[in-house]
Structure 1
Amino acid sequence: MAGAELQAMFDREFRGHIERLREPLVAALRKLIATPLPAGEFEVLSFEMQADWRDFPVYAFAMDREAVNEEYFEPPFKGNVLPRAGPLIPKGSIDQDRYEDSGVATFESGARVLAEWFGECWHAAGGVGFQLPAYISLHDGSRYFDLRARRWVRAIELGA
């Protein structure tokens, strides 16, 4: 099977597993979006994905655009977005070794699919009306998915 076909197959399989979390994620994001923002506390809402599928790997961080330091320490603007969701991908349900041996970077590919799906959920929850810029990225990654515009951007473009 060609690399592009395997990549597409992995993407479909990965997305098939995370779709079961759409309803609880949209509900959690609706709650976050409806929570009044603390005055002047932060300028950007950042969601960070961890490369670990044993739990739901997305965490919220309220950020100061200039210092890029956490500014707010209360949920829902900090912490795991779905703390009781269980594994993102049930253990053994995706043959990662098979995909990796065929050249599919499963964690990076999974992060891309998860970010774009998260963007769909953000919009379904009403995120387009959220007052601040919001992004999702892989931990230590250099690309961010702009949740409002639904496009990938580099760090230098944040908040632009």
Structure 2
Amino acid sequence: MFTTKNYMNTFLTSLDNHTEVLTNKLKEIQTYQFSPTIDLIDFVVFMDQSTFSIRMFSMDRDNNEVFKEEGSPLFAGSEEIISDVECSHISDKQLDDFYSFYEQNEEELVPKEEKAIAEWFQNCWKDVGFDTLELPSYFVFHDAFQSFDLTAWKWMEEEEKWS
């Protein structure tokens, strides 16, 4: 019933359907005045088998989140960028079959999903023209060992961004 090819086509269509939401949010972020206590911005993807979300975190060089000072007009903290993006549109009757399919094909699907999300985010970032953000910015999957440097435009070991 399910195939990896059909699943990935549905997954890519879902990304395309959310492009406008993501680009509008990135355009909004361009207008933020960031606190000078922020050293970098992390865009973190949180995934499960059926949805994903991206959250922006303002961080210091010690890998600690920087929080907004009370009364300050400057941005600090974290913010949902896009939430609960459905990766597949499965009816309730198909859920058990889908989860079985996914578990059997997880080793193939997860890298393809991550590659698709990363490329989608990077393309939206480019389309918005995020050259004006003066803070180093990174794209990363939660608990991953690599981050994508949105300034140098390359993947790097997670620890490198903290040095």
TM tier, shorter chain?
Answer: 0.7 to 0.9
Paired-residue identity, %? 23
Residue of structure 1 equivalent to 2:78: 78
Deviation at 1:124, TM superposition (A): 1.2
**Residue identity matched to 2:58:** A
Larger Rg: 2
Q: Following the alignment from structure 1 to structure 2, what is the Cα–Cα distance between the partners of residues 15 and 35?
A: 30
Residues 23, 125 of structure 2: 8 Å contact kept: yes
Match of 1:138 among 141, 145, 148: 141
Residue of structure 2 equivalent to 1:24: 21
Q: How many residues align?
A: 151
Task: Spell out, residue by residue over 1:13-69, the C-alpha distance to the aligned partner (whole angstroms, 9 max, x if none).
Answer: 42221111111110100110121222x22010001111236655100100102x110
Gaps of 5+ in 2: 69-73
Q: Structure 1 residue 123 and structure 2 residue 123: aligned?
A: no
Q: Following the alignment from structure 1 to structure 2, what is the Cα–Cα distance between the partners of residues 10 and 148?
A: 32
Q: Following the alignment from structure 1 to structure 2, what is the Cα–Cα distance between the partners of residues 78 and 33?
A: 15
Judged with a 3 Å threshold, the aligned counterparts in structure 2 of structure 1 residues 112 and 78 are, in CA distance, closer, same or farther, namely: same
Gaps of 5+ in 1: 1-5
Task: Spell out, residue by residue over 1:73-123, the C-alpha distance to the aligned partner (whole angstroms, 9 max, x if none).
Answer: 48685121125xx53324428956435524644344323321221111112
Judged with a 3 Å threshold, the aligned counterparts in structure 2 of structure 1 residues 107 and 76 are, in CA distance, closer, same or farther, namely: farther
Runs of 4+ in 1 over 6 A off after TM superposition: none
Cα RMSD between the aligned structures?
3.1
User: Which structure has the highest strand share of the two?
Assistant: 2
Q: Structure 1 residue 44 and structure 2 residue 40: aligned?
A: yes
Q: Following the alignment from structure 1 to structure 2, what is the Cα–Cα distance between the partners of residues 78 and 156?
A: 20
Q: Following the alignment from structure 2 to structure 1, what is the Cα–Cα distance between the partners of residues 102 and 48?
A: 17
Normalised TM-score (structure 2): 0.74
Normalised TM-score (structure 1): 0.75
Q: Structure 1 residue 35 and structure 2 residue 35: aligned?
A: no
User: Which structure has the highest helix share of the two?
Assistant: 2
Deviation at 1:134, TM superposition (A): 0.8
